[in-house]
Structure 1
């Protein structure tokens, strides 16, 4: 059976929406204000959101690690009705100012493992 590879590339606005949704669902919403910038860092993949507060105009930075970003993008895909295979291997990759969620699924490996275990 062939291997399936999906590339879901999210631009900076989608990454920001994904992170806002992620923190909101974890009962830890981002501070009230406007996102001024998103810096996506490589090696290891992470993001820094800069938010300008609504009340005082002060800027604060929120750092998000790779695991949080992956969880946020997976949640964003679910909420946006973008299908993702549950058994697929998921990896993040930086594409310029965008973040790609790369999903690889190889059903043959799973079937082969099942056959070997039955012997």
Structure 2
């Protein structure tokens, strides 16, 4: 069984997410104002994802295009969601899609995977791995 979640982003949210991520990782940014954003779905036998093109216009009217791959944009959108405390499952597939012209982050969780085990006590089962002593646990 799988669960599918979709988060649909506005153009302004995509631009803000990309610019915030680029500033955070100190990637170069063209100087100016983002004047246009275009999404381009890569065609072919196996679609390679979505390319995003930002048009940045400087004060002199010169337009610079910034081409972004789907990996960078996906990372930017995940960071954007984390910054706004939108819960995202760690163990999931996150893929960009275009739905009705809007950029959408599709999150797929596979429930057929084996559950992760959490060990409560020490390796010998005595509970020696607990951080708190027995006196502390009873309220002292």
Shorter-chain TM-score: what band? Answer: 0.7 to 0.9
What per-residue deviation string (whole Å, max 9, x for no partner) do you get for residues 23-68 of structure 1?
A: 11110252221111000011231100000013x3211000001111
- 21-30 or 86-95: bigger deviation: 21-30
- Identify the match of residue 46 of structure 1 among 43, 47, 51: 51
Q: Look up the match of 1:10.
A: 9
Aligned residues: 111
Higher helix share goes to which structure? 1
1:1-119 to structure 2, matched below 5 A, reads 2-43=1-42, 44-54=49-59, 56-111=60-115
- Decide whether the 8 Å contact of 1:8 with 1:102 is kept in 2: yes
RMSD: 1.8
For residues 38 and 5 of structure 1, the distance between their equivalents in structure 2, rounded to whole angstroms, comes to: 27
Computing the radius of gyration from Cα coordinates, the structure with the larger value is: 2
For residues 93 and 70 of structure 1, the distance between their equivalents in structure 2, rounded to whole angstroms, comes to: 10
Which runs of 5 or more structure 2 residues have no equivalent in the other structure? 43-48, 118-140
- 89-98 or 62-71: bigger deviation: 89-98
- TM-score using structure 2 length: 0.72
For residues 92 and 110 of structure 1, the distance between their equivalents in structure 2, rounded to whole angstroms, comes to: 26
Larger RCO (CA within 8 A; separation ≥ 6): 1
For residues 107 and 3 of structure 1, the distance between their equivalents in structure 2, rounded to whole angstroms, comes to: 6
4+ residue stretches of structure 1 with deviation over 3 A? none
- TM-score using structure 1 length: 0.83
